[in-house]
């Protein structure tokens, strides 16, 4: 009843004393599958419950060298795509008995110190959805001698595995679809220059347009994956007197901005005057105001592949795994390309 008397956490020694058994017995009572009599186990559990004992995994990390913590390095959660991807990834990791040590980084510059902190907690591996652009970052990651799994990153190296959406293939499909819709003045709304996934989408799109004979008419606008940049790109085109009739946007956020700008600045309606498609299939793409055709990256599949890579890498410790999975994106046709319900 003396609440103040409790100064430090209850340990297995305390439980052992209270139950009149050895410390090993306490350990066994809490380790499934270890040889312990039902009677002893019950005694231990009773004592543990009455003392409020909770097993401490920290010492086990020291002994085994495995923490069962995975460093998850993310950024850009204001994009619903990354937010839901994180949710799925966290769920999958937890189901595999792994903990998520989250690290938010604003830009790749702060990555180095972030990695030091993660590593000091003896994480078993790193998973990141960051668009790993620079070679130096890849080198930093490789030097950790820790399994790394990246999403939509182009750089490879020892210890680094990657799960990519089939960005190039989706670009081809996008061009094909626009061709089918009779588009004459295509527009490519590019994501950040350093984003290799965006570059791959753009390349595929251009190649597809060449096949369709539309390449010479291509306009290209630079965005940064935000709604505002999509809006501004269209507003900018209006000033230049350019009127696209078919748009492929590197992501859905920009596409939504573009749709609004088309309505407000150019008085153009989708899909009557212009067809448009995005990438990521964020929830807002299905919202009625946008009804946006988009490529779904199938984050469930991508996360599942990432978990496979993780399992393998954690099994074959101390040998650098480096593999790449490509997951096809699925075209979700909606009203913005005239394929409405």
Partner DNA sequence: TTGTAGGCGTTATCAA
Partner DNA sequence: TTGATAACGCCTACAA
The one among 34, 49, 50, 87 contacting a second copy by CB under 8 A? 87
Count of alpha carbons within 13 Å of 92, Cβ hemisphere only?
A: 22
24 binds DNA (CB under 7 A): yes
Distant-in-sequence, close-in-space partners of 131: CB < 8 Å, separation ≥ 6: 152, 153, 192, 194, 195, 196, 197
Give the residue from 115, 117, 274, 76 showing the smallest Cα distance to 187. 274
13 binds DNA (CB under 7 A): yes
Encoded one letter per residue, x for contact with DNA by CB under 7 A and - for no contact, window 53-72 reads --xx-xxx-xxxx-------
Nearer to DNA, 65 or 340 (CB): 65
6 binds a second copy (CB under 8 A): yes
Token digits for 252?
């859905």
42 binds DNA (CB under 7 A): no
Token digits for 204?
């595929």
Give the residue from 100, 37, 34, 40 showing the smallest Cα distance to 73. 100
Q: What are phi and psi of 100, to 5 degrees?
A: -105, 110
- In eight-state DSSP terms, residue 121 is T
Nearer to DNA, 56 or 96 (CB): 56
The least distance separating DNA from the CB of residue 122, rounded to whole angstroms, comes to: 9
Which stretches within 32-144 are classed as H helix?
A: 38-51, 58-64, 80-95, 111-120, 135-143
The one among 17, 80, 242, 314 contacting a second copy by CB under 8 A? 80
Nearer to DNA, 37 or 180 (CB): 37
Residues in the chain: 341
> How many residues of this chain interact with DNA, rule: CB under 7 A?
30
Distant-in-sequence, close-in-space partners of 307: CB < 8 Å, separation ≥ 6: 92, 93, 96
The least distance separating a second copy from the CB of residue 284, rounded to whole angstroms, comes to: 6
Contact partner at residue 165 from DNA, a second copy, none, CB < 5 to 8 Å by partner kind: none
Dihedral of alpha carbons 41, 42, 47, 49, sign: positive
Encoded one letter per residue, x for contact with a second copy by CB under 8 A and - for no contact, window 92-111 reads --x----xxxxxx-x-----
Considering only residues 231 to 270 of the shown chain, the ones binding DNA according to CB under 7 A are none
Residues within the interface to a second copy (CB under 8 A) = 4, 6-9, 52, 54-59, 61-62, 65, 67, 69, 72, 77-78, 80, 83-84, 86-87, 90-91, 94, 99-104, 106, 114, 116-117, 119-122, 143, 145, 227, 231, 256-257, 259-261, 263-264, 283-284, 287-290, 318
């Amino acid at each position: 009843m003396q609440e103040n008397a409790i100064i430090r956490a209850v340990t297995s020694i305390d439980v052992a004393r209270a139950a009149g058994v050895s410390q090993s017995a306490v350990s066994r009572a809490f380790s499934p599958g270890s040889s312990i009599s039902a009677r002893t186990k019950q005694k231990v559990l009773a004592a543990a419950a009455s003392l409020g004992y909770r097993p401490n995994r920290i010492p086990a990390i020291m002994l085994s060298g495995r923490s069962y913590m995975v460093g998850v390095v993310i950024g850009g959660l204001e994009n619903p795509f990354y937010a839901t991807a994180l949710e799925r990834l966290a769920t999958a990791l937890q189901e595999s008995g792994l903990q998520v040590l989250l690290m938010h980084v604003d830009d790749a510059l702060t990555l180095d110190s972030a990695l030091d902190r993660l590593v000091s907690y003896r994480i078993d591996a790193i998973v990141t959805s960051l668009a790993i652009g620079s070679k130096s970052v890849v080198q930093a990651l490789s030097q950790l001698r820790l399994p790394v799994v990246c999403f939509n990153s182009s750089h490879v190296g020892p210890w680094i595995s990657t799960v990519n959406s089939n960005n190039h293939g989706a670009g081809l499909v996008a061009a094909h679809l626009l061709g089918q819709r009779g588009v004459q003045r295509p527009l490519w709304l590019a994501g950040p220059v350093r984003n290799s996934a965006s570059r791959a989408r753009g390349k595929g799109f251009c190649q597809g347009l060449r096949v369709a004979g539309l390449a010479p008419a291509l306009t290209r606008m630079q965005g940064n994956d935000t709604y505002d940049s999509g809006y501004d790109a269209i507003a900018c085109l209006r000033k230049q007197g350019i009127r696209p009739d078919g748009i492929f946007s590197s992501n859905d956020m920009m596409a939504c901005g573009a749709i609004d700008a088309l309505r407000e600045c150019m008085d153009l309606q989708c899909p009557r005057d212009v067809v448009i498609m995005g990438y990521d299939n964020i929830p807002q793409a299905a919202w009625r105001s946008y009804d946006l055709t988009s490529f779904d990256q199938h984050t469930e599949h991508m996360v599942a592949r990432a978990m496979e890579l993780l399992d393998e890498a954690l099994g074959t410790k101390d040998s650098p795994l480096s593999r790449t999975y490509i997951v096809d994106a699925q075209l979700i046709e909606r009203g913005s390309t005239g394929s409405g319900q």
